[in-house]
Chain A
Amino acid sequence: MRYSGFKVIKEALTGHKGWTQAWRDPEPQAQYDIVIIGGGGHGLATAHYLASVYGERRVAVIEKGWIGGGNVGRNTTIIRSNYLLDGNEPFYEFSLKLWEGLEQDLNYNAMVSQRGIMNLIHSDAQRDAFIRRGNAMILNGADAELLSEAQIRLEYPFLNFDDARFPIKGGLAQRRGGTVRHDAVAWGYARAADSRGVDIIQNCEVIGFRIEDGTCLGVETSKGFIGAGRVGCAVAGNSSRLMAKAGMRLPIESHVLQAFVSEGLKPVLPGVITFGAGHFYVSQSDKGGLVFGGDIDGYNSYAQRGNLPVVEDVCEGGMAIMPMIGRARLLRMWGGIMDMSMDGSPIIDRTHIDGLYFNGGWCYGGFKATPASGYAFAHLLARDEPHETATAYRFDRFRTGHMIDEKGMGNQPNLH
């Protein structure tokens, strides 16, 4: 069933009796060509592009809980492609282009809103760095705009421009960045993939891999063995736990990242703002809540909740840049588990086991990457070669010295 304005009107006039379920709830078949582990944004996007772009017909997504219950439902919903390095920027720009066409592609309202993102500048050195970043973005086909303090005052008059310690001296804007309704991304990909015959199997936990003579033949699950020609893993914060079942150790630590939303307010914040002197980012959802976050807590964690020192740190960042945020009451806060890699960049690669492929290490930047991650992973699974925008995301880059370290922090995952 296609969704449309006419359909909404027709259903409104006929008692809403014609809506059907958005995706099926099938039992697993004995064998698939491709099995994706992880029914989050990346796994479901992979399934969608496998079916729609690469013509794969026998695909399953298996998920231990319910789809969209992990990080795709726990992020701050920001999309952007403002990266510096060659290994990253073409990939994230590809992702932003896919976001721009996503709703038509999926026939689903994901509330993609290109309201713009603004990275604030507080020092001369930071301006130099942002000019360099903006030029790198433009060279890779993205948009970037350097703004003066006066220009930002017109758009965001309430910011703390004249702070004694961190005055706002300008900003780097990406007008095509913005926000997306995050749950709808999971649901939209699930519905589109399901409509092309992908089996989405929920409440089905992977217990182990069946590996014989260096080849992965399928997965042992709580619903029995499921055979697969190829297995793709896209489980974000649980990557190390899952791949340990295949005997692998990963260049990843799992860390908790907290996010916050205030009570609903009238429209006050037109776009996404990031504080350049600390780590704080904020936007306003269409329901009116201020959605914001900051740094990861900084210690290994699989608990989807954090601790108070980081709450204080995030709120200090908010108060430093946007003092009126102190008048808003906090409505909810939560934590998600980030697969922090050793250089802050992701991995989309085959493993040393034939038929077993891995997608992970997204750190806390996985949401914006969802479409391109799915597309590139689908390409890898279907063609057994990396997508042209994801050739740098290899496992062996730590062995060969080709790290993609945007922040230049080295192999200390909690600093990326």
Chain B
Amino acid sequence: MIINHPLLGPRDSAEFVYLGAATLMDRPDPDTATAEEWHDYGYLRDNPAGPHRELWFHEGGDRSILIVTRNTTTHEITAVELARTVGART
């Protein structure tokens, strides 16, 4: 798979470390979250067949974390964003 890095252009996916679903960015508020919310955040996944937003860490590159939208049934990548850009918007 080739990941089209927003800053570095097309890169081999082997340069990246896969970190899991992008929903991991939505961490519960440590001051108010219940144990049940932490359980759901830490252990439950949607695991869809189809488009999936997921985190790829460019360990062998600029060490940025990307949000890649990839179809899990075809491996086709349709969008790549910098996680820090998305995080700043929310």
Contact = CB atoms under 8 A, between A and B. Distances in A.
Contact of A240 (B14, B43, B47): B47
Given A300-B54, A307-B13, A254 B1 contact: no
B39 A250 contact: no
B46 interface: yes
Given A299-B18, A309-B12, A309-B14, A253 B47 contact: yes
A250 B44 contact: yes
Contact of A303 (B45, B46, B48, B75): B75
B7 to A, nearest CB: 21
A253 B13 contact: no
B72 A301 contact: yes
B42 to A, nearest CB: 5
Contact of B39 (A301, A309, A398): A398
Contact of B20 (A250, A307, A412): A412
B72 A342 contact: no
Contact of B43 (A251, A254, A307): A251
Nearest to B42: A411
A240 B72 contact: no
Interface in A383-416: 398-399, 411-414
Instruction: Report whether over half of chain A's contact residues are helix, strand or loop; otherwise say mixed.
Output: mixed
Contacts of B70: 299
A303 B47 contact: no
Contact of A252 (B14, B39, B45, B72): B45
Nearest to B44: A249
Given A303-B73, A307-B13, A298 B18 contact: yes
B13 A240 contact: no
A299 B54 contact: yes
A303 B20 contact: no
Nearest to A339: B47
Interface string A253-267: 110000000000000
Contacts of B48: 240-241
Contacts of B14: 309
B43 A303 contact: no
Contacts of A108: none
A66 interface: no
Given A300-B72, A342-B43, 14 more contacts: A241-B48, A249-B45, A250-B44, A253-B45, A298-B18, A299-B13, A302-B73, A303-B72, A307-B75, A342-B42, A399-B39, A411-B43, A412-B20, A414-B18
Interface of B: 1, 12-14, 18, 20-21, 35-36, 39-40, 42-49, 52, 54, 70, 72-75
